[in-house]
Structure 1
Amino acid sequence: MANKLTLEQVRAKSTNRIAGLSDTQRKAAELLIDFAYACGVPIVITQGLRTIDEQNGLYAQGRTKPGQIVTNARGGYSYHNFGVAIDFALLLPDGKNVSWDMQRDGDGDGIADWDEVVAEARRIGWNWGGDWRSFKDYPHFEMTFGLSTADYRAGKRPSHTQLNTAMAKIDALKSNKTEDDEMTTEEKTEIAKQFKALQDRVIALESANKLAKVPTWAEQACINAKAAGVLDTANDGSYDFYRLVTILDRAGVFKTKGGAA
C-alpha cells in the first residue's frame, strides 16, 4: 500500500523532537525517517533529547507517581539526556495517530513494519533497545560510540575520527539512496513486468537458438534477475536474451531493497 503522507509531511512530524540531538545522531535520525518511508513505513520520532528533570519525572512513574514503570534510568543515566538516543513509533495513515504494534504490516509486504524500521536503523548504525538482555526497550535506538552514560556524565565525547567515520557512512547511504531514487520502485516494477512479457516472447521466438549454457558475462545478471523474482530459470536462453538481461541489470532494474543486487 502506497504512503498517503508525503515524505515532507512525515519529516515535519519529527523536526522538533530531533532538533536537540547531537549532529551525527540528528543526521542519522533524519536518514532513518527517509529510509523507513522508502520501505512504505512512515515513522515519527517520539523522543530525542530529554532533560535531567524530564528523565527524573519518567523514573518516578510507577514508583512515586501513578503509572507503569517505563525506565530504569534516573536523570543523567539515560543516553537521551546526552542527545544520542531516540524513540520512535509507527505513524498511521491519518498522520495524527501512532502505533507501537510490532506485528503491524501497514504496507502489506508481508514483513512487520517494526522489523523493517529496525533493519534500516541497524544499517545506518543505530543500536536497538530490543537487543538488550534485560528490560528490552523496543522503540529505542541509540548511537553511543562505545561510551557509557558515566563517560558522558564525566564530559567524555566520541573522538573526531569516530564522528567523521559515522558521518561518512551516513553521507554514503544518502548518496546511494539518491541514486536509487532516480528510478522509483513503481518504475522498476513496471519495467520488470514488461521484461517478463518480453522474456516469454523471446523464448517462444528463439527457441531454436538456445545456448547450451549461460554465458560467463551474463551469469551475475541472471542471478540478480532470479533474486528479484523476474526469472524462474536462466537456462536455455539465446544470445540476445542474455544480452538483454545484462543491459537491464546494469540499469538497476533487478536491484533489491537492501541496495545490493
Structure 2
Amino acid sequence: MNSDNRIIRKYFGLLTAVILIAGVLLSGCTETDRLKDEAKAAFDSGRYAEAVSLYNQAIQLSGSNSELYYLKGKALFELVMYKDAIDAFTIAIRLKQDYPEAWYMKGRASYMMADYDEAVRSFYKAIELDEGNTEYWYYRGLALSGRGQYDLAISHFDKIIQMDPGMEKAWSSRGYAYVMEKNYTEALASFEQALKINPDNAENWINKASVLRVLGRADEADIAISQANLLYKKQGEVIARKIPKTPIAVIP
C-alpha cells in the first residue's frame, strides 16, 4: 500500500469518526429537546410531578444546562417542594450567574419558606440584573414587610407605582405596610387607589373598612363592608354557575 492510499484511508477513518460523534451529539440534543418539550406540555397542563421527571431525564442527557434546572425548579415550586426548588434554582444560578429569573424564583421559594433574609438577597440580585421588572421590586417589598422593615417595603412599592401606577397589588401591599406603620391616612389612600383600579376586589373593600373603623368613620366602614359582602355573594354565584349540574343517580 503506497503512502497516498494510507493517507486517504486515514482521512476517511477520521471523517467517519467525526460523523459518528456528530450523530451521537445530535441525537442526544434532539432527545433532550423532545424531553424538554414534553416537560413543558406537562407543566402547562398542571402535571408538575411528570414535568420534574422529564426535566430530570433531560438533565441527565444534557449535563450542565442552567435552563433545565430553572424549569425543574419552577415545577418543584408548583408542587410546594420549596427546598428542592431552591436547590434547583441554586444550581441554575451556579451555571449561569446572570440569570434574573432564577434569582427571582429562588427568592419566591425562600419567601414561601419564611426565609425572608434569603428572599431579600435573591430579589436584590434579580433587580440588579433586571432593574425595570416590577415583579422583582414587588416581591422584594413583600419580603421586607415579612421581616418587619415596612419603611423599606413602602419605598419599594412607591418605586413600582412610579413605573406602573396601575399595579393594583402594589397599592394594596403599600396600604398593608402603612397599616403596620400605624399610618392609617396613607393606608386608606392606598386601598382607595387600589379600588379605583379594581373595584371588584372584595379584600380591598374589607381593608378599607378596617382602616375606616380605626379612624372612627364607622358609617363609611359599614358601607365598605356591605360592598365586600355583595362582591363575595356575586363571586359565589358565578362559581356556582360554573359547577356542572350532574344528576345524581338514586340507588334503590
Fold conserved between structures, TM > 0.5: no
Task: Tell which has more relative contact order, 1 or 2 (C-alpha 8 A, sep 6+).
Answer: 1
TM superposition score normalised by structure 1: 0.23
More helix by share: 2
The structure carrying a bigger strand percent of its residues is 1
Larger radius of gyration: 2
